Structure 1
Amino acid sequence: MAKLEAKLGMIVDSVGNFFSGKDQLPLCDPALNASGLDKFLKSIGRNPSYVDLEVGEDVVEELTKSMQKIGLDMRVSALVNDTIGTLAGGRFYNQDVIAAVILGTGTNAAYVERANAIPKWHGPLPKSGGMVINMEWGNFRSSHLPLTEYDVALDAESLNPGEQIFDKLISGMYLGDIVRRALLKMVEEADFFGDTVPPKLRVPFILRYAC
């Protein structure tokens, strides 16, 4: 919990500095404003510096506490991921924007759908008639996806085998290790670097991504 408080404290200080001296912004009623950390979807466990948070910690609650500590008169109305934030930002500038795609460390997509066309929605329809769908398409898998032997091996050795298959095919988090695996096979079977195999080629995720 102390690590989470420290990280959120840094965020709050930055937010406070940004709004210092500015007029107070009107906020709508709170919605979607509670969330606990469920699990890590990417294999970030391979780098201990990333894993400072504990599953089950309520990020919004702790962020609110951190803002209160420094007297920042703000509250969390909604917790959204980068994909929803990208779509919201696009629609802020152009109402014709209907979709957003993230291609970075991970991948995801979101789009605006007619609320009355969503079978799972049983609540009152929004006044706008539309609703944002967070696809989480990184978890898409199909027998039609062109999995190579390197993709299969990477998935089997990941922290979440069988999950986030599409993510592991195209995301920056995994591309470096797919290249490493292909190079290692070339070195072992075709003497790509002569008679010796560079030891680092056997180290998972030694080739870092750049996003």
Structure 2
Amino acid sequence: MTEKNTPIRSICVYCGSQSGRDQSYIDAGRALGKSIAENHLRLVYGGGTKGIMGAVASGVLSHGGRVTGIIPEFLMDMEATRHSLGQLSELIVTPDMHDRKHKMFERSDAFVTLPGGIGTLEEIVEIMTWAQLGRHRKPIVLVNINGFWDPLMTLIHHMADAGFIHTAHLVQPLVIDAAEDVVPALLAHWASQVDRDGNDGIISKL
């Protein structure tokens, strides 16, 4: 199934449901949320209202933006408070993680990853896997706060050098150090794709 190359209207953000030990992670979440709202884009995220997830959503909502939270029923009381969930622009409750991830993919035009744990890593690696397999061409960003994602990029380069990523050109996330620079970089990336592919560029859809 395919769709036309469309402007970036919604951004999926993967990040930790915990705050981490560095205040800059929370600050980056709020800054990213603010930038998403100010550029009139929609946030699509995992629905959590705690940790960095909560900071991103708060950053969007406090600046008049729109937020779609997608969360499995079993995580509602672990990663969020039901009162806070009521403040989201849209809340989608799924039966399981698989359905959550698929809905997040379908509703997003780009994927941004802030610091997080194993769940965050698993989500963005799956998106990179789908890109490698040619299932989409949506841009992927690693927000590299204080070099957080350097080990992942080292591993990806190591796997490519060892001959295990034969389509490495399809697994090229944008690595951006400052959260404030993410949205401008994504919009510029989309514009460059349109210039290269023309209005008839095709993007695969899962």
Bin for the TM-score computed over the shorter chain? under 0.3
Which of these two proteins has the greater Rg computed from alpha carbons? 1
TM-score (ref. length: structure 1)? 0.24
Which structure's residues are more often strand, by fraction? 2
Higher relative contact order (CA 8 A, sep 6+): 2
TM-score by length of 2: 0.25
By percentage of residues, which structure has more helix? 2
